[in-house]
Structure 1
């Protein structure tokens, strides 16, 4: 771990040199692939040539290559054999995405990210005792690649891909066993995980906040207590990612009532491992620069343009919203991942996830992103004693004789003292945070007060189950620019009440 901390210090000191060398290595290694030949990789010697020659790609534009890989062809996007694909939950559109995962991506990105997470945590917490017990990991599931059953290839949630390929030593320090952790029947899996792990000395948790809460609640119910430390007295850290932790912090403080509990954030996805919290009690993430990923950044106002301006690391500015563009050691070339980030520091490069390019509400020019929503909800909760579990929001479109607005469906663990006050605080803080939203709300000219529904406990779980979206990699769509999700949810609630 100490050696790795030294390596990290090197890329902190020489970030631009590390990224330039990485791009050169990626292009050189892929020059004999079909993609490399098409774009003349053997003649590319610097970033400007790479930028001018290789177009920006969406998933849809790369999919014809990926589909051929899934059918068993090789040397298409990347020279080494691709036998694993990470299946995305499809939060940006209704269709699942299949992301190629090379051996290099596993070793030099996903595994390396996991080891660095522990290294950075231990470096900040030298008195840790997490190694005296086991890590509880909530994984997804995997299956044989149905597109090519004879090709000995597989796809699944990225967590399942990682867990299935972990070295044998890693299996000794985690719980439950793989056959339980990778079960595809989610409800049965949670039950079994609760039974098994409630008898283990769990010192650390790894997972998505929403599903980790569900497991903790199952364990508490099983053991008849409301304090998880009665069961796991040595629990000291939760390594979390995938969704913002801010709305869940208060609930975790209640479930794990310990001043010594640590929360350590990561930024990893099907496409790669990008950032790790490196300072205690911070929500900034250190951008990891030596994971086989070359980064570019698109100014947010150009994220949906066909030929956007792209910036390298040495051109970004603090506080500006950028869409993330990556080139990876699994053959994703200038790929728009769909996330937006902001830099909070340029030395070293630290970031915050601000939202998704397709996960927003902009029906009236208000450009509401997840970062705005999370801040406003947190303030509204703090001032009304509420604790939130899940939420989603969508526009209310203009209709004859009525104005537009936003509709929120929120499941509280602890309802606000007054829902009208909560709604008013939500609106007031969205106006403070987002000037575009404020302009549309001025004298109710374009947008009226948001409509907020307080729904019963279990609503989102039942809705996700109905949609076949239970599992660690599936996330509730927070903000949608259409009413597909919210109408489906409200319809289910209405039919249940009838």
Structure 2
């Protein structure tokens, strides 16, 4: 924003000074007040952050749906985190027919992908933006001599860590995301997670893409809606049992939390054969546990760490319990049951 083309500033809101505010609550309120009476046709940002801004706009305007505030709104360009857990909430507050949701994949290090077809969730890999791409198969991540795959050697349906070299001086830099190609002509892909966001405590190899699909299914079956979540393993509780523990902040709670947990568990088994094997007869992994987070828990946690705002994301999956234990303590149910 600091270096944006001056011409772009003529057609964008909010003011640059507002966009650069470091105080999260003040920034959200000012963005809402500055934009609610403008003719906004498209919005862009991280889904979780933008949702909080939209909620504030609706509070200030007294409206129920965003198209009542911005009747000419056509598209939301989103990125940074997976959109799947937030889609139902956006469709609830933006009800106009023909609203488009398009994903982009950009970072401080470069611009890598654009969703070019609203009917296809895959993104088109940007080949002419000064980035040289290489890919590390996820099953070789951490090995001493991994097999680095050039772009022409990628396989569809396989998870890779993306490596980039750029004219700015990066050399085989691990961007931190995992991708899976859906097409080789043209090169199209989806983001499946982060190289550090996974659970493989018992050989289950649970990745973020599994988590998003499982949660989407559970929400669909139970009518729930999710704001934030994180998950971590319970290596051994007081009954010598191991399981996965999910801490979820709902914007709309399921009527039956046990049913939600059952749906999530069954979907994870369906899409991840390693997880299914570890869950077989509860020998290695017990049924997962879902803990309800109190409202704004994750926001409070990020604020306490000085990481509140759109550029900071809640870690979704981790082999470590550090984040989970901090959140549970803040949530008021620190002790494992």
Bin for the TM-score computed over the shorter chain: over 0.9
What aligned pairs does 1:83-482 form with structure 2 within 5 A after superposition?
163-399=1-237, 401-482=239-320
The residue matched to 1:283 in structure 2 has which SS? coil
Task: Considering fraction of residues, name the structure with more strand.
Answer: 2
Q: Give, in angstroms, the shift of residue 281 of structure 1.
A: 2.4
The residue matched to 1:247 in structure 2 has which SS? helix
Aligned length: 334
Q: Distance in 2 between matches of 1:279 and 1:174?
A: 24
Task: Give the superposed CA RMSD.
Answer: 1.3
The residue matched to 1:174 in structure 2 has which SS? coil
Q: Distance in 1 between matches of 2:237 and 2:225?
A: 33
Q: Give, in angstroms, the shift of residue 173 of structure 1.
A: 1.1
Q: Give, in angstroms, the shift of residue 398 of structure 1.
A: 2.0
Q: Give, in angstroms, the shift of residue 495 of structure 1.
A: 8.0
The residue matched to 1:410 in structure 2 has which SS? strand
More relative contact order, 1 or 2 (CA 8 Å, 6+ apart): 1
Q: Distance in 1 between matches of 2:167 and 2:250?
A: 42
Q: Distance in 1 between matches of 2:143 and 2:262?
A: 36
Q: Give, in angstroms, the shift of residue 263 of structure 1.
A: 0.5
The one-character-per-residue Cα deviations of 1:224-248 (angstroms, maximum 9, x if unpaired) are 1211111111111000001111111
The one-character-per-residue Cα deviations of 1:23-49 (angstroms, maximum 9, x if unpaired) are xxxxxxxxxxxxxxxxxxxxxxxxxxx
Instruction: Return 5+ residue gaps in structure 2 as ranges.
Output: none
TM-score (norm 1): 0.66
- Which of the residues 461, 486, 491 maps onto 2:329? 491
Instruction: Return 5+ residue gaps in structure 1 as ranges.
Output: 1-162
Q: Once structures 1 and 2 are overlaid, which stretch shifts more, 354-363 or 213-222?
A: 354-363
Q: Give, in angstroms, the shift of residue 364 of structure 1.
A: 0.8
The residue matched to 2:149 in structure 1 has which SS? coil
The one-character-per-residue Cα deviations of 1:290-331 (angstroms, maximum 9, x if unpaired) are 111100111111111232111111111110111111101211
Q: Is the 8 A contact 2:294 2:331 kept in 1?
A: no
The residue matched to 1:189 in structure 2 has which SS? helix
The one-character-per-residue Cα deviations of 1:379-406 (angstroms, maximum 9, x if unpaired) are 1100001111111111101246412111
The residue matched to 1:382 in structure 2 has which SS? helix
Q: Distance in 1 between matches of 2:97 and 2:233?
A: 40
Q: Distance in 2 between matches of 1:265 and 1:356?
A: 17
Q: Distance in 1 between matches of 2:49 and 2:293?
A: 19
Q: Distance in 1 between matches of 2:57 and 2:129?
A: 36
TM-score (norm 2): 0.97
Rg larger for: 1
- 4+ residue stretches of structure 1 with deviation over 4 A? none
Q: Give, in angstroms, the shift of residue 455 of structure 1.
A: 2.1
